[in-house]
């Protein structure tokens, strides 16, 4: 088994506190992987990954798609949630049951009961892809947590403070890890360093991340 996967398996059930209301649940998604990957394949077939453009005109290095009642989108007009895929005008694919179940159970394990996400942003990172420091603030409901599931290559997650200039912690996220943050940590800046390292034996040279939110 891949070394990082062994690490995650050995720490299955461990909760690493990264803030007063923020946790990394090590290996939490591993029991779901056999259901997650086929569901991801069906999602990609219905709504393919694409590189969106930021309001500043830059093409994002991370490819993305969405599922659920709402999907996150970006173009020259700004960041926003939409009910339809801007590429085809169709509604985003429904959120697979295994996605919603994993999100709710991970949130509950971190102390956030009754989480019912209506949006799942799926990001696909290739080597060199990164995510700049940002806050998740396009949602209407800040009371609900963020649930972030990591699959594939190991990533370095940056978790900062409530100002962009605050110091960031560098946290490795392995295949199957789930990060959950909410409450007083809900609007902390976060990002991902450029992806590098060995490919993953199951998923190859990529990292796939599911970010669940209550957006509407």
Side-by-side strand order, sheet with 15-19: 15-19, 22-25, 178-181, 146-152, 207-213, 119-125, 63-68
Q: What percent of the chain has pLDDT over 70?
A: 96
pTM of the predicted structure, to 2 decimals: 0.94
Q: List pLDDT tens digits, range 157-200.
A: 999 999 999 999 999 999 999 999 999 999 999 999 999 999 99
Average pLDDT over every residue of 42-57: 95
Specify the pLDDT at position 159: 98
Residue 10: pLDDT above 80?
no
Specify the pLDDT at position 73: 94
Q: List pLDDT tens digits, range 128-153.
A: 999 999 999 999 889 999 999 999 99
Question: What integer best gives the mean pLDDT of the chain?
Answer: 95
Nearest alpha-carbon partner for 182 in 118, 106, 100: 106
Specify the pLDDT at position 9: 66
Average pLDDT over every residue of 116-121: 98
Q: List pLDDT tens digits, range 79-109.
A: 999 999 999 999 999 999 999 999 999 999 9
Average pLDDT over every residue of 28-43: 97
Which residue segments constitute the domains of the chain, with CATH numbers given? Answer: 3-213 (2.60.120.590)
CA contacts within 13 A on the Cβ side of 9:
8
Q: Are 8 and 177 in contact (CB under 8 A)?
A: yes
Locate tokens 């990957």: which residue? Answer: 37
The percent of the chain in helix, strand and coil, each rounded to the nearest 5, is 20, 35, 45
Tokens for 125, please give them. Answer: 């990172």
Specify the pLDDT at position 160: 98
Nearest alpha-carbon partner for 93 in 57, 61, 131, 120: 120
Residue 1: pLDDT above 60?
no
Residue 3: pLDDT above 90?
no
- Residue 50: C-alpha distances to residues 44, 46, 55, 73, 184 (Å): 10, 12, 16, 11, 33
Other C-beta atoms closer than 10 Å to the C-beta of 91 total 15
122 phi and psi angles, rounded to 5 deg: -110, 115
Q: What percent of the chain has pLDDT over 90?
A: 91
Residue 43: pLDDT above 90?
yes
Taking CA 119 as the corner, what is the angle to CA 118 and CA 120, rounded to the nearest 5 degrees? Answer: 135
């Amino acid at each position: 088994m891949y070394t990082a996967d062994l690490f995650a398996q050995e720490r299955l059930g461990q909760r690493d506190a990264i803030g007063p209301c923020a946790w990394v649940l090590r290996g939490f998604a591993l029991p779901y992987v056999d259901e997650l990957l086929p569901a991801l394949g069906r999602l990609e077939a219905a709504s393919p990954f694409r590189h969106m453009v930021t309001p500043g005109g830059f093409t994002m290095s991370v490819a993305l798609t969405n599922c659920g009642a709402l999907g996150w989108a970006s173009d020259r007009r700004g960041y926003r949630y939409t009910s339809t895929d801007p590429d085809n005008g169709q509604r985003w694919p429904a959120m697979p049951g295994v996605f919603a179940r994993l999100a709710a159970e991970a949130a509950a394990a971190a102390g956030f009961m009754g989480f019912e996400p209506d949006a799942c942003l799926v990001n696909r990172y290739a080597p060199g892809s990164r995510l700049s420091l940002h806050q998740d603030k396009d949602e209407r409901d800040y009371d609900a947590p963020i649930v972030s599931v990591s699959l594939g290559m190991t990533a370095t997650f940056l978790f900062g403070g409530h100002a962009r200039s605050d110091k960031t912690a560098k946290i490795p996220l392995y295949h199957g890890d789930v990060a959950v943050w909410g409450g007083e940590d809900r609007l902390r800046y976060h990002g991902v360093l450029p992806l590098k390292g060995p490919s993953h034996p199951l998923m190859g040279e990529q990292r796939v991340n599911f970010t669940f939110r209550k957006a509407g």
